Every structure is written in C-alpha cells, then in structure tokens.
C-alpha cells in the first residue's frame, strides 16, 4: 500500500508541471502585447510630423492632438497588459515550479519579480490591473463630452475614487511590509 501511495503522490506532485503551459502562453502573449504596443508607438511617432504641418487649421490640430493623446493612452495600456502577463508568468513559475535563481540574485528583481506566495502574486497583479483601469478611465475621460454640469461632477467623482483606490492600495502594501517585517523578526 505504501508503494501505491508513493506513486500516487508522485503523480500529484508532478501534475503541477501543467502550469508550464500557462507560463509559456502568458510569456508569449505578453511579448505579443509589447510588440503591438511598440508598433502602435511607432505609428504615433511617425504621424507627429503631420502635427507640425502649416496646412492644419486650429480645429484639425486639436482633433489630431486628441487622437494622438488617446493613442498614447492605448499604448500605455498595451505595455501595462504585457507587464501583467509577464509578472503572472514569473509568479506562477516561482509558486508552482521552482524559484528563479537569477531573479533572487539580481538587485533589480527584489521588488517586482520575486513572488513568495499566491497573495503576493495577487497583490502585484492587482496593482498593475489598477493602473490599467486608471489608464482606461483616462482614455474615456479624454473622449467624454460635457453636456451638463453633472457630467463634470461624475468626472470629479471618478477621479476621487481613483485617488482613493490608489491610496488604499499603497496603505495595504505598507501594512503587508510591516507584517512581513514582524514575521521575520519572530523567526
């Protein structure tokens, strides 16, 4: 019976390797998002020559400016999404497969890429996703038309909620750091 249990536990333990599919797919899609955002950035930069054209009147220049700002926001969104996917892939790998030795030795990875628990991964992803949502809000705010004073109040309320969410995410991080410091001092 012991041998059967050992074989079963070995199969259970090795089943964690299925996470490699998610790791590889997340890295591939993350790289694709970086590629898409970079191509978008290239097109925005290539169209900047049009902005300085003397043939544009003030209205056309304002429309081009608004469109360019909206595209820049979309580019930021693409890079943030690529970052989420890379953090997710690295976190899954560290949690289920193995610690990344190069990341542990690197001074640059200490804050971003070292994942020690599922809660740590969720917290890191939540912050980047919050940034994506803020960028999306900004994108909609740029395109918003203000037909009534209430529209401005809605925009101000949205900005206030964003500020509150950023403040709360930072206070959670500081509480987590204090908790980790206290835990390590006990051990």
From first to last of its 187 residues, the chain has per-residue pLDDT tens of 798 888 988 988 888 889 999 999 999 999 999 999 999 999 998 888 877 778 888 888 888 888 888 888 889 989 989 998 998 898 889 888 888 777 777 776 656 666 777 787 787 788 788 888 888 888 778 777 888 888 888 888 888 888 888 788 776 555 555 655 565 565 5
Angle of CA points 74, 37, 96, to nearest 5°: 105
Quick check: is 22 in a domain?
Answer: yes
CB 106 within 8 A of CB 155: no
Tally of domains within the chain? 1
Per-residue H/E/C for 136-168? HHHHHHHHCCCCCHHHHHHHHHHHHHHHHHHHH
Quick check: is 140 in a domain?
Answer: no
Closest C-alpha to 34, from 83, 107, 95: 83
N- to C-terminal Cα separation, the chain: 38
Quick check: is 37 in a domain?
Answer: yes
pTM here?
A: 0.71
Quick check: is 14 in a domain?
Answer: yes
Q: Which domain holds residue 49?
A: 2-118
Quick check: is 156 in a domain?
Answer: no
Quick check: is 29 in a domain?
Answer: yes
């Amino acid at each position: 019976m012991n041998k059967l249990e050992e074989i079963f536990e070995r199969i259970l333990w090795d089943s964690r390797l299925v996470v490699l599919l998610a790791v590889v797919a997340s890295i591939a899609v993350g790289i694709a998002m970086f590629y898409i955002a970079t191509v978008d950035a290239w097109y925005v930069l290539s169209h900047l020559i049009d902005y300085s054209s003397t043939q544009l009147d003030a209205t056309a220049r304002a429309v081009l400016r608004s469109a360019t700002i909206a595209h820049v926001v979309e580019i930021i969104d693409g890079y943030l999404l690529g970052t989420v996917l890379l953090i997710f892939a690295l976190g899954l790998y560290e949690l289920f497969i193995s610690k990344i030795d190069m990341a542990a030795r690197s001074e640059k990875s200490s804050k971003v890429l070292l994942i020690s628990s599922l809660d740590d991964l969720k917290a890191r992803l939540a912050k980047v996703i919050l940034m994506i949502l803020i960028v999306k809000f900004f994108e909609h705010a740029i395109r918003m038309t203000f037909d009534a004073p209430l529209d401005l109040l809605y925009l101000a309320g949205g900005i206030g909620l964003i500020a509150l969410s950023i403040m709360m995410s930072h206070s959670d991080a500081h509480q987590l750091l204090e908790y980790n410091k206290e835990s390590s001092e006990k051990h």
